[in-house]
Every structure is written in C-alpha cells, then in structure tokens.
A and B are shown apart, each in its own frame.
Chain A
Amino acid sequence: MNNQQKDHILNFLEKGIRFDGRKLDEYRKIKIEKGFSENAEGSSKVSIGNTEVLAGVKMSVMEPYPDTPDEGTMMINVELLPLSSPNFEPGPPGIQAIELARVVDRGIRESKTIDTKKLCIKKGEKVWSIIVDVCPINDDGNLFDASALAVVAALQDTKMPSYNGKVVDYKKKTKDALPLNLKKIPTSCTVSKIGNHFIVDPVSEEEEKVEARLTVEIEEDGTLCALQKGGDNPLTAEDIDKMVGIGIEKSKELKKLL
C-alpha cells in the first residue's frame, strides 16, 4: 500500500468516519446462514460485507487422547483458499492460517462451549471427534471475526450422525445436537489500531494499514476467554483496556446474531 492511500484512510479517521462511511466502531452488514451443506454434519455461511466464509463440521469416532480418556476431541482448521484473495497461495497452511485457526480454537476450547465429556462413547476406547474446517470464499478483511462466527454457527447447526458401535452412518443423521453450553458460547471481536484510532471490522484496504490488532473472545457474561495481539506495533496498557472495552460492547451485538 502506498503512502497516499495511508494518508487517505488516516484523514478520514481524523474526522471520526471510515472511508466507506461507517463509524469507527461499526461492523458491516453481517449475515449468518446455517445448514448450506447436506453432506457436512453441520455447516454455516457467514458474510460480513463482502467477506464471506464457509464452515463445515465433520465428526468421526476415534480413540481418546491418553490424558483425557473420557473426553471427545475438537479441532479447528482454516484453509486460506487462494480462491478468496490474490494474497493467498496454494499449499499447506501458512502461519496466517495457523494463527487464525488457533485463535478461533482457543475461544471455543477455553470457554468450554462444548461439553466434551458428553462426547465420550466408551471411556479410554471410543470418543467422538469434531473437526470444524473454515474456508473463506472472499477475503475482504476481518477473517478473524467472520471465522469465529462461522464456527459457532456450524456447531449450533450440527446433528450427530448415527453410530452402531462399529461404523458411523453419515447418511443417517440423528436428531441429536452437539452438547453445547449455550451460556458459554464465545463471540470474537477484533479491534484494530491505526494511528491513534481504534476501529472494528476493517476492510482489506484498512487491514493492510493496521499497526496493531487485538482479538478479544468474550463469553455471554463478559468474561474474556481468549486474547491475541497481532500486528507489528506494541500497545500500551491503556490501549488494551480501551480495546477490550470496545470488544465487550460489540460482542453484545454479535451475540444477538447467533
């Protein structure tokens, strides 16, 4: 990005407005559609403005990890498809995709949204494994919050496949939803710093200029369940307090959409 564009964006922020006309703490229009896929056990399509991501849940039966013999497992994976942005290349996940997946993963894991004990079939032998894959279709900024919403929506949409003790029958979905603790469901709000300004939901042009960002994952009662600072520049303690404040405010809005 050249300096002119940077000045352009900054000039607007000085006036308390974004160059696309939004307020500094205003999200673009968010749309959540559940169950777009007939093949996945659960799925969702989330768009924030032009940003669009798909998430799908696949379940299987596996042996539990030795340290948690009576708990099911959960993994979140992000594929930054080269289809969705000129900046992504084919190949194994790069550090950007890994960070994104791990931050979303932390939000779900630490909030204990999924009651993993209820995913145990036989202690020490068989448990359910949940894998949520996130695939952006169009990256126009703020993949963090879009992916977090998509994962939660896909988990809410999931119906367990039937299992007869030997094989999983994917064609026969049961009526059972996942054991989710609805009170704990996290929402993710990423606050970005450009100059002395704090904004949410940057579009890709703004995202290239972000000096520092803080992703705040928040449970319904305002408890923080995951944090991730990104960007090249440091933040002061006051900055962080402000950003968390914005995150808590915005998460109330996001929560209503789920």
Chain B
Amino acid sequence: MSYTKRNDGRKFDETRPIEAKAGIIKRADGSAYFKMGKTVAYAAVYGPREIHPKFLQNPKNGKLRCFYNMMPFSSMGDRVRPGANRRAKEIAMVTEKALLPVVDLTEFPNSVVDVFIELPQTDAGTRCAGICAASMALADAGISMNGMVAAVSIGRVDDKLVVDLDYSEESYEDGTVADIPIAVVSRTGEISLLQMDGELSRDDLKKALEMAKKSCSKIDKIQKDALKKKYEVKNE
C-alpha cells in the first residue's frame, strides 16, 4: 500500500499553517513565536552578556549558546519530566550549529548570546520550529547576522516524500517512515542542519534537499514579514 493522501489533506509539498510573531517576550533582548500546525515554539535571546564560568571567555570570538526544552505539559500522552535529557541536549547542540553560520561572533568577544527555546505544545517538527523561532529572535535582538535560517522537516512516508511531517505521519504504521530535519541558510541556500532517522535512498535525499530549500524560502518570507511587522509604523 502506498501513501497516496496525507492524513490531514495537505499537498505533499505543503507545510502546515504557519504563524510567526517577533518581540513577544518583553524582558528578553529579542524573542519570537513560531507555530507550525500544532507545534508551538517560543525563543528568547539574552545578550551579548557576560559569560560564566570565566574561563569560557574568548577574546577573539563571542559564544552562541542554545537551550531546548519541552514544557512538562507539551506532549499528547505522558508528562515530560522537566530537566535536560540526552535528546534535548543533542537538539540544543545541533540548533547551535544550524544558527552559527549566520551569526557574527567577532562582534561580541568575551561574551555570550543565550538562546532559549521552549515548546508549550508539540506535534513533531519541534527542532525545526525552534530553529525558525531562534533565528527570528536573534534578528529581533539586533545580533549581527549575515542572513536568516529557516528549517523544515522532510519525510519519506512509504514511497512518498512529504514536507513538514506531523506526528500522525511520523508514526505512520502501514509502511516505513524516514524523518529528515533540514535547516537552510536563506541567503546562500546552504544546509546548516541535516539529520535523518529511517532509511532513504541517495536519490530521495537529493529530492528531499530540493524540497526543503523550496519550503524554507517560503518560511524565510514569513519570518521576515513578522520581523518587519514588529517595527511597522502604524498610521492612526
């Protein structure tokens, strides 16, 4: 049996509805909200600020530090126990690497920029939503950047490549599934995050990367529009 129609009726190259807002956390230096279907991510940026412990100071470069956390009530099913588990630490690390290519670390030597990603509700694709929100929050904080990063997960469900897997597709039972989160540096089209679990052919990977680029350029526009909206001058 092949996957001919998506569970929620989307086209194969269609993301879930996206909602993006910038500057929603007043005490943060920069912040953003990014909602993709039922997956919701908040990101807040604090810094550049002093780094502790002091031996981490680097007179040449600043440090970008990311944290990823699912809120205890975020998942359908059991409560998520608070605290960073191995999964959260890995995602934080790959998020950092996904954002690094666009951030100019030389602008804030000896200091750190902290990025906190929080998920109040999850339905697959959390790391991608987190990266999208984080990129916006960094821009909102006025961190020196040479572009933005957008991310989306591409999936292979049975024999079909699909954009932006939701949980029902990720746990599809009538065939095999591969999940490929991809982050794209919007200005250059370079890939700054690539992970995969599941099985995939070389050809399909090529196609998946192409699909990701297309979707990410759409997401990029949504991100930038949301940022512009925050600074819009309202004529009353």
Q: Does A pair with B?
A: yes
10 contacts between A and B (CB under 8 A): A36-B120, A39-B74, A55-B73, A56-B71, A77-B82, A92-B83, A133-B73, A135-B72, A135-B118, A140-B26
Give Cα A60–Cα B72 distance, bound, in whole angstroms.
13
A247 to chain B, nearest CB (A): 26
Distance between Cα atoms of A163 and B44 in the complex (Å): 38
Give chain A's interface residue range (CB within 8 Å of chain B). Answer: 35 or more
Given contacts A131-B79, A138-B27, whether A82 and B67 have CB atoms under 8 Å apart is yes
Interface residues on B, range: 20 to 34
Docked complex Cα distance between A90 and B123 (Å): 24
> Is B217 among interface residues, defined by CB-CB distance under 8 A?
no
B67–A58 touching, CB < 8 Å: no
User: Is the CB of A174 closer than 8 A to any CB of chain B?
Assistant: no
Using known A-B contacts A37-B121, A50-B26, determine if residue A81 contacts B69 with beta carbons closer than 8 Å: yes
A56 and B72: CB pair below 8 A? yes
Residue ID in chain A nearest B65 by CB atoms: A90
Within 8 A of B (CB), among A74-97: 77, 79, 81-86, 90, 92-93
**Cβ distance A74 to chain B, nearest Cβ, rounded Å:** 13
Residue of chain B at shortest CB distance from A78: B82
Contact at A57–B73, with CB atoms within 8 Å? yes
Q: Which residues of B contact A (CB under 8 A)?
A: 24-28, 31, 38, 42-44, 46, 49, 67, 69, 71-79, 82-84, 114, 116-118, 120-123
Interface set of A (CB-CB < 8 Å, partner B)? 36-40, 43, 50, 52, 54-58, 60, 77, 79, 81-86, 90, 92-93, 131, 133, 135, 137-140, 170-171, 204
Q: Which B residues lie within 8 Å of A56 (CB)?
A: 71-74, 120
Do B27 and A86 have beta carbons less than 8 Å apart?
yes
Total contacts A-B at CB 8 Å: 102
Closest 10 A-B residue pairs measured CB to CB? Answer: A56-B73, A58-B79, A83-B116, A133-B72, A40-B73, A83-B44, A50-B26, A39-B76, A138-B25, A37-B121
Chain A residues whose C-beta falls within 8 Å of the C-beta of B67 in the assembled complex: 82, 90
Q: How far is the CA of A253 from the CA of B24 in the complex (A)?
A: 27
